Chain A
Amino acid sequence: MEVGFIMILPLVVGAMLGALVLVWWERRLLGFLQDRLGPNRLGPFGVGQMVADLIKLITKHDWVPPFADRLVFTLAPVAIVAAMLMGFAIVPFAPGWHIIDLNIGLLFFLAMTSLAVYGVLLAGLASNNKYSLLGGLRAAAQMVTYEVFMGLSIMGVVILTGSFNMSEIVRAQEDLWFFIPQVLGFVVFLIAGIAEAHRAPFDLPEAEHELVAGFHTEYSGMKFALVMVGEYLSVILTSAIIVTLFFGGWLGPDFLPPIIWFSLKTGLFICFFVLLRAAIPRPRYDQLMSLGWKILLPITLVNLLVTGAVVLLAKG
């Protein structure tokens, strides 16, 4: 098990740049989906907007409310971003292009997304504000719920591959991408991934119509930027994991290099996340919970059972 130290810096820079580009691209795409233009004034196609946003966020007054728990309040956004960046460590971008080839890579990813929940929860708790607390509470319950079958839904992939190693999983898809035999697992993982990234339509922790801005109500300046970067990182990470598990990772026809295939697929899923935000309204909180426990969990279990049985029968 070797660690690709060379990959760390490009990966961190790339992920941060990706999050920065997403700040602009999400608003632009959202604009197009809603028959308007989005930010288009600054530079070609408005890409200068992300620089402007960055400068604005850096130069803003970084205010910590006097009633907040100062230490935890400061550390929470860092925890979110750190956990999300750690999650990138196991993503294989191309054959051999990964930071660490863990043989429990998938479990590591699940662990890291769970750790990010602590960041959200602590941010809500440390703000000492009722709306933030409600947001943190919702985040905790929602993520605990959705983690259950997020983990279970990818077990079908693990059964088919016989390994938790991400590169192994990608190599096992050379004949058939797993989203065909694992279509139920893919759908459930997609929904759980949105809920884990607390993106619209499952953005109940921040639900701006009910909770001001939820767990990050009290954040401003660069801390707020970190929370936002954490959210965009989790969008990128979830897309990357979906592509790796169900859409053959770097695999694709030979006329493009593997890294391009991987980026293209990931980009497509990021755009799908934006489309979801534009199209689907936010469910009520009890609807979210009953969707999780009453529909998605049984589907996952059935999927797991059937996959296991089919694999066992095929072995004879």
Chain B
Amino acid sequence: MISQLVSLWKVFLHLFASNETVQYPSKKKWWWSKPTKVMPYLAPRYRGRIILTRDPDGEERCVACNLCAVVCPVDCIALQKTEDENGRWYPEFFRINFSRCIMCGMCEEACPTYAIQLTPDFEICEYDRNNLVYEKEHLLINGVGKYPDYSFWQVAGKTIFGKNKGEAQNESPPEDVRSLLP
């Protein structure tokens, strides 16, 4: 019985506590005053709209490995691999259907090149379903996203235009196996 009265009192005191509600999208001080825009705090790692990023040199990070499309639980990612004249892979098209996407972030986890990233933006409503299908030009940004210095081709052991085997970061030149002969 005492505990019931104590809980009554404690809940009553909450009448004078400040409210937790964030009045997204807009808030009025008084009912006659003009509404001001309100945005809730979104953590930097909030999983919202998906973007494709570029490496520090301004080239596309995506190497069209298809891992994101494979790992996607709702199969909302579709892409086609192609190569440029230097043998560098990139997606010919890259399509995310946001009407299916559940923002699980598994594509981001699977991506070996940090190309696909989720951003703290959830305002992607559309009146037409077709407008929720984002093509590469909608997804690709002119920035590096969360990993400013990372460039996949500079750490990969693959020979590519402008970089031979052994010239990558933290990599020593290949051993000349013949020099080991007695």
Chain A residues close to B by CB (< 8 Å): 32-37, 43-45, 275-276, 278-280
A279 to B21, Cβ gap below 8 A? no
Residues of B1-27 at the interface with A, using a CB-CB cut-off of 8 Å, are 4, 7-8, 10-12, 14-15, 17-21, 23
Q: Sample 18 A-B pairs with CB under 8 A, ordered by A number.
A: A32-B14, A32-B19, A33-B15, A35-B14, A35-B20, A37-B21, A37-B23, A43-B31, A44-B31, A45-B31, A275-B8, A275-B11, A275-B12, A276-B8, A279-B4, A279-B7, A279-B8, A280-B4
C-alpha spacing A279/B11, complex, angstroms: 6
Question: Closest approach, in angstroms, between the C-beta of B153 and any C-beta of chain A?
Answer: 51
Question: Closest approach, in angstroms, between the C-beta of A200 and any C-beta of chain B?
Answer: 12
Chain A residues contacting B18 (CB-CB under 8 Å) are 35
Nearest A residue to B7, CB-CB: A279
Question: Closest approach, in angstroms, between the C-beta of A36 and any C-beta of chain B?
Answer: 5
A33 to B12, Cβ gap below 8 A? yes
Chain B residues contacting A37 (CB-CB under 8 Å) are 19, 21, 23
Question: Closest approach, in angstroms, between the C-beta of A167 and any C-beta of chain B?
Answer: 32
Chain B residues close to A by CB (< 8 Å): 4, 7-8, 10-12, 14-15, 17-21, 23, 31-32
Nearest B residue to A47, CB-CB: B31
Question: Closest approach, in angstroms, between the C-beta of B103 and any C-beta of chain A?
Answer: 25
What is the interface of chain A mostly: helix, strand, loop, or mixed? helix
Question: Closest approach, in angstroms, between the C-beta of B135 and any C-beta of chain A?
Answer: 37
Chain A residues contacting B7 (CB-CB under 8 Å) are 279-280
Question: Closest approach, in angstroms, between the C-beta of A147 and any C-beta of chain B?
Answer: 22
Question: Closest approach, in angstroms, between the C-beta of A158 and any C-beta of chain B?
Answer: 27
C-alpha spacing A36/B19, complex, angstroms: 5
Chain A residues contacting B8 (CB-CB under 8 Å) are 275-276, 279-280
Nearest B residue to A35, CB-CB: B20
The 8 closest A-B pairs by CB, nearest first: A279-B11, A44-B31, A37-B21, A279-B8, A36-B21, A35-B20, A279-B7, A278-B11
C-alpha spacing A33/B9, complex, angstroms: 11
Question: Closest approach, in angstroms, between the C-beta of B32 and any C-beta of chain A?
Answer: 8
Question: Closest approach, in angstroms, between the C-beta of B27 and any C-beta of chain A?
Answer: 10
Chain B residues contacting A280 (CB-CB under 8 Å) are 4, 7-8
C-alpha spacing A44/B31, complex, angstroms: 5
Chain A residues contacting B23 (CB-CB under 8 Å) are 37
Other A-B pairs, 17, CB within 8 Å; known A35-B18, A44-B32, A279-B10: A32-B14, A32-B19, A33-B12, A33-B14, A35-B17, A35-B19, A36-B21, A37-B19, A37-B23, A43-B31, A275-B8, A275-B12, A276-B8, A278-B11, A279-B4, A280-B4, A280-B7
C-alpha spacing A279/B9, complex, angstroms: 9
Question: Closest approach, in angstroms, between the C-beta of B165 and any C-beta of chain A?
Answer: 61
Question: Closest approach, in angstroms, between the C-beta of B176 and any C-beta of chain A?
Answer: 71
C-alpha spacing A34/B23, complex, angstroms: 16
Question: Closest approach, in angstroms, between the C-beta of B11 and any C-beta of chain A?
Answer: 4
C-alpha spacing A44/B23, complex, angstroms: 16
C-alpha spacing A35/B16, complex, angstroms: 9
Question: Closest approach, in angstroms, between the C-beta of B21 and any C-beta of chain A?
Answer: 5
A279 to B12, Cβ gap below 8 A? yes
B19 to A33, Cβ gap below 8 A? no
Chain B residues contacting A34 (CB-CB under 8 Å) are 14
C-alpha spacing A22/B53, complex, angstroms: 54
C-alpha spacing A43/B31, complex, angstroms: 7
C-alpha spacing A314/B19, complex, angstroms: 54
C-alpha spacing A44/B33, complex, angstroms: 11
Question: Closest approach, in angstroms, between the C-beta of A115 and any C-beta of chain B?
Answer: 30
Nearest B residue to A280, CB-CB: B4
Nearest B residue to A37, CB-CB: B21
B17, B20, B31 — most chain A CB neighbours (10 Å): B31
Question: Closest approach, in angstroms, between the C-beta of B16 and any C-beta of chain A?
Answer: 9
Question: Closest approach, in angstroms, between the C-beta of B22 and any C-beta of chain A?
Answer: 10
Question: Closest approach, in angstroms, between the C-beta of A22 and any C-beta of chain B?
Answer: 17
C-alpha spacing A163/B12, complex, angstroms: 37
Nearest B residue to A275, CB-CB: B12
C-alpha spacing A43/B19, complex, angstroms: 20
Nearest B residue to A43, CB-CB: B31
